Amino acid sequence: MKKLAVLLLLIALAACSNNNERKKILPDYETLYHYRELKHPTNSQALYSINRIAPEIPGIINEVKQYLNKHEKTYILKMRLFINEDGRLNYVKFIEEPHFMEGNTDIEEDIIAIIDKHTFPKTILNGSFAKSAFDLKIKNGKEFDEDKYAVSDEKMPQIVGGLQALAKNIVYPEEAKKHGIEGRVFIKAFVDEKGNVVKAEVIKGIGFGCDTAAVNAVLRLHFIPGIQKGKPIKTQVAIPVAFKLK
């Protein structure tokens, strides 16, 4: 469900000014690198020992955590790192991102810059240095358990203030205005037994900054909690967020 963003890391500083060149969609990019999770004939011949990469991992995790903690204390970030023959980072694919990173390429670029400071052990295949790839998961705080939130109950949660409260929270992105983007973003909200939205994620988006704006609008809502057997419970509910230009 997560949108996969692949960011091209440009080593030459002169090229950094061209943001359009920094992002490229690269389908099946793993086939160009020796990705340990992809089963192709040469995998068994490559040196993929995590011990060869492990010395760099703690430093990267700590640096990325220190950076992300400025934005939020609880998150899960999963990335796929693509390493060149020289042990330098070439590409990063963001596989799973916390809500505050969705659509925010500035944060993604900062994380790439942190990782790019590190040099990785080289992978050897058939006696020669080869390109390699591996996954890195960084999480902070208690991992969210969606199973504790009921999909349906006797009485579904209701927005305090109704749809007007939701409308007041919406900040129409300038990029969407510029391109005349209208439509509805569907958000899954996780509402606790006190009516607080503890997490929100995009089910179906329209892009141009609207997805992030919709998540932020829902996170600021308060609900009358869902009821089951006469008691308030944790509930997950789908919310359509409308974007319409006046």
Ramachandran assignment for 165, one of left (phi > 0), alpha (psi -120 to 50 degrees), beta (any other): alpha
b/e for 191-207, b at 16 or more Cβ within 10 A?
bbeebebebbbbeebbb
- Sign of the dihedral through C-alpha 104, 9, 110, 26: positive
Got the DSSP string for 49-86? -HHHHGGGHHHHHHHHHHHHTTT-SSEEEEEEEEE-TT
The closest alpha carbon to 76, from 65, 67, 90, 66, belongs to 65
Report the chain (246 residues): mean pLDDT per 10 consecutive residues: 33 36 49 64 38 65 91 84 90 84 85 92 83 86 73 83 93 90 92 90 88 90 91 92 91
Helices (H) and strands (E) in the chain, counts: 7, 14
Q: Which residue has the tokens 């490229």?
A: 24
Fold of 146-243: TolA/TonB C-terminal domain (3.30.2420)
The closest alpha carbon to 118, from 34, 59, 62, belongs to 59
Let me know the angle formed at the C-alpha of 201 by 198 and 206, rounded to the nearest 5 degrees.
145
Neighbour tally for 120: CB within 10 Å: 21
Domain with CATH 3.30.2420.10 in the chain: 146-243
**pLDDT value of residue 212:** 86
Residue-level length of the chain: 246
Alpha-carbon distance of 82 to 120, in angstroms, equals 10
Alpha-carbon distance of 76 to 84, in angstroms, equals 26
Whether pTM > 0.85 for this model: the answer is no
Q: Are 71 and 107 in contact (CB under 8 A)?
A: yes
Alpha-carbon distance of 132 to 208, in angstroms, equals 33
Alpha-carbon distance of 237 to 128, in angstroms, equals 53
**pLDDT value of residue 142:** 66
**pLDDT value of residue 185:** 93
